[in-house]
Amino acid sequence: MTELESNILIVLLVAGIIPIAWFIYRYMRYSPWWETAIGRTVLGQKFAMLALLSLSLLLRVLGPEYEYRALLNAAVLSLLIWFFWKTLIELLRVQKASPHRDALKAFIRRHSRRKE
């Protein structure tokens, strides 16, 4: 990888880190995220995304052999997997609370009506 390509990746990673970090700050500061499981899940997902982008940035800046790289990789991957499962479990819990709703059928029914 050329130095230019590496610098472009660094800029893109920082460009991704800034809005996620800003979202986390504003969400934690101004939203009652702790009151619902969905709020906690959204916040956790954003932290996981921030960790993933930060890990990628560390790789770009420090190179492939920085200290504790394997440990950080395992920690970030574990965080991501945890929130993938938590998101699925929360979705199933919310959908179970209203089992008679089928969003896909409602969407098709709403958009397939013939206009007369």
**80-93 pLDDT tens trace:** 999 899 889 988 88
- pTM of the predicted model as reported, rounded to 2 decimal places: 0.72
Q: For residue 86, give the H/E element and its range.
A: helix 69-97
Residue 39, number of CB atoms within 10 A of its CB: 14
Tokens of 94: 């919310």
DSSP string, 99-111: TT--HHHHHHHHH
Q: State pLDDT tens for residues 1-49.
A: 889 998 999 999 999 999 999 999 999 999 999 998 889 989 999 999 9
Beta-carbon contacts of 21 under 8 Å, excluding residues fewer than 6 positions away, are 50
